[in-house]
Amino acid sequence: EEDKINREDTNEGGWESSDIREWCNDWFAQSIPQTLQPIFKNFVNSTYADGKIVETTDLFALPAEVEVYGSTEYSAQGEGTQFEFYKNPLNRIKCIGSGGYQAYWWERSPSSSRSTFFCSVGSGGSADGNGASYTRGLAPFGCI
């Protein structure tokens, strides 16, 4: 999937207020086969927004910058720790579409220095940031 993290070009309200959070917890969650839906459970995410860490409870979410890289380049600190899966840099490269082309994909972390940007992962797996209204890939995760 590809989409904008926000239809409006802002990161105000961070992950909690993002359009894509609603997509993850509603449309994407409902697209999981009914036989598998019961194995997923709600979990708490920490995301820096509007000068403070905000906790949300989600069924599915996008990873934070620190959860992908183990450090922060474009986001604020306090959003979690690196996921074991992303310690392998090859797992940061995502392919989209029928041709499987390498693409940028969104993280839930708002940029700490630009009010219209969220963090993203570049097509080669590098840390980046883009305007919230750009269309990028989506790689949600859930907790079982």
d(CA 144, CA 141): 10
Give residue-wise pLDDT tens across range 103-112: 999 999 999 9
Neighbours of 13 (CB within 10 A): 15
pLDDT grade for 99, boundaries at 50, 70 and 90: confident
Give residue-wise pLDDT tens across range 41-55: 999 999 999 899 999
Residue 98 has pLDDT above 80, yes or no: no
Give residue-wise pLDDT tens across range 122-139: 999 999 999 999 999 999
- Give residue 93's pLDDT: 96
Percent over 90 (pLDDT), the chain: 90
Give the pairing of strands 101-103 and 127-131: unpaired
Give the pairing of strands 101-103 and 43-49: unpaired
The distance of Cα 39 from the centroid of its chain, to the nearest Å, equals 21
- Give residue 53's pLDDT: 96
Radius of gyration of the chain (CA): 14
- Give residue 61's pLDDT: 98
Task: Yes or no: say if 45 and 55 are a contact pair by the CB < 8 Å rule.
Answer: yes
Task: Yes or no: say if 48 and 79 are a contact pair by the CB < 8 Å rule.
Answer: yes
pTM, two decimals, is 0.94
